[in-house]
Amino acid sequence: MTSPRSPLARPFPLLPQIAGVTPHVARAGYKAWERTDLTFVTLDPGTSVAGVLTQSKCPSPEVEWCRAALVLGQARAMVVNAGNANAFTGARGRAAVEAIAARAAGQLGCRPSDIFVASTGVIGVPLPIDKAEAGLDAAFAAAPCTWEEATNTIGTTDTFAKAAMTTAVVDGRTVTLVGIIKGSGMIAPDMATMLGFIFTDAAVEPAFLQAALGEANRASFSCITVDSDTSTSDSVLAFATGKAGNTPLADAEDAGADAFRAALSDLCLQLAHLVVRDGEGATKFIEIAVTGAESDASARTIALSIANSPLVKTAIAGEDANWGRVVMAVGKAGEPAERDLLAIRFGDTQVAQGGLAVVGYDEAPVAAHLKGQDIEIGVDIGLGEGQATVWTCDLTHGYISINADYRS
């Protein structure tokens, strides 16, 4: 993490350890850097796992490995490599993932399918097996580390370590959920964002954990965008060790199921917002709320059209109340919209309604709102009950500088 810290950064929270979860870090040397770049997390026997993975048609072999392993629903460890995405690397990339899983499984005495693997970094360079194995051996010998060390280790262009926690009462017991995440650019997920990992001591059956994570994802990770680009490696995995001792949650009707789902959704939304706050070059955190669409799906498409518009994002970066660009983004979304029913607000100020600028509209309060770091844009389509909220950031010269120099 060598770039200047994002002005939207949040301090790293105080996180508790999760019973049955032990993180370690090591330096494999995937890039020419003097930092740890391999995170190895062991999970006690009986840990359930669920995941949401990229919908990219060019996924990494790590994503394909996790997709197959998730069917079995059990996990004993997670290995995350930073500095090399190992994507678009053919048979050599697949061999590297198999070697990592086999070595970790040998260390723990479990099946290779119990090992979950993720990688992030440059696309198109095969992950060197010798470095992977040496890095794993170092991690096996390393003392347990802090959550902050583990989070820093999975970062690439991230400028601050991102994590969150929450709790819920299930079956009369307090269960804890901790999440760590990395992501700064190539953020426009169809399912999740870059790499995120959630750990809980709750007892949760794999099928219910999968359903709960999918639900949480739809209103969090799948509602953020930095630059409209979906990664080859996007993965969010959730692990439940069962150490809290509650009766295992197996169904939405179980006592405490609603509390667990709400806690998981809250955690995912916290993590998703942190990714946007670390968007490459970002200086503004932008919430876009669309109401009055024909359906929720239509509202989401319109909201993402606004959020992904370079013209909207650069206007916000320049603190320019150019609501005409919002009109443009609504119109190009391809969803039902009626010009003369459209209403737009910035912050609490209505700027356009009925296809026209509001009579007597004073731009001063909008200009003041845009000088802040947290920006709100509201759009009412005027056609139905559909609604959606997405989050994005502005587009600045910093984004260009980071990505023009990414491989050098």
| Binding residue numbers for substrate | 156, 182, 193, 280, 403, 408
Q: Residue 197: which of 43, 28, 93 has the closest Cα?
A: 43
Tokens standing for 12?
């790293």
Annotated binding site: 156, 182, 193, 280, 403, 408
326 and 313 Cβ atoms separated by less than 8 Å: no
Catalytic residue status for 193: yes
Who's near 90: CB < 8 A, 6+ residues apart? Answer: 126
Q: Residue 390: which of 279, 242, 226 has the closest Cα?
A: 226
Region of 124 on the Ramachandran plot (φ > 0 left; ψ -120 to 50 alpha; else beta): left
The number of beta carbons lying within 10 Å of the beta carbon of residue 60 is 30
Q: Outline where 34-82 has alpha helix (H).
A: 61-70
DSSP string, 222-269: GGB-SSS---SS-EEEEEE--TT-PPPB-STTSTTHHHHHHHHHHHHH
User: DSSP character for 11?
Assistant: P
Q: Residue 136: which of 111, 108, 100, 112 has the closest Cα?
A: 100
Q: Which of 193, 230, 241, 349 is catalytic?
A: 193
Alpha-carbon distance of 328 to 280, in angstroms, equals 25
174 and 167 Cβ atoms separated by less than 8 Å: yes
Tokens standing for 49?
């796992």
Alpha-carbon distance of 169 to 263, in angstroms, equals 9
For residue 76, give Cα distances in angstroms to 48, 58, 108, 118.
Answer: 9, 27, 8, 14
Tell me if residue 305 falls in helix, strand or coil: helix
* Crossing angle of helices 129-141 and 90-108, rounded to 10°: 20
Just list the catalytic residues: 193
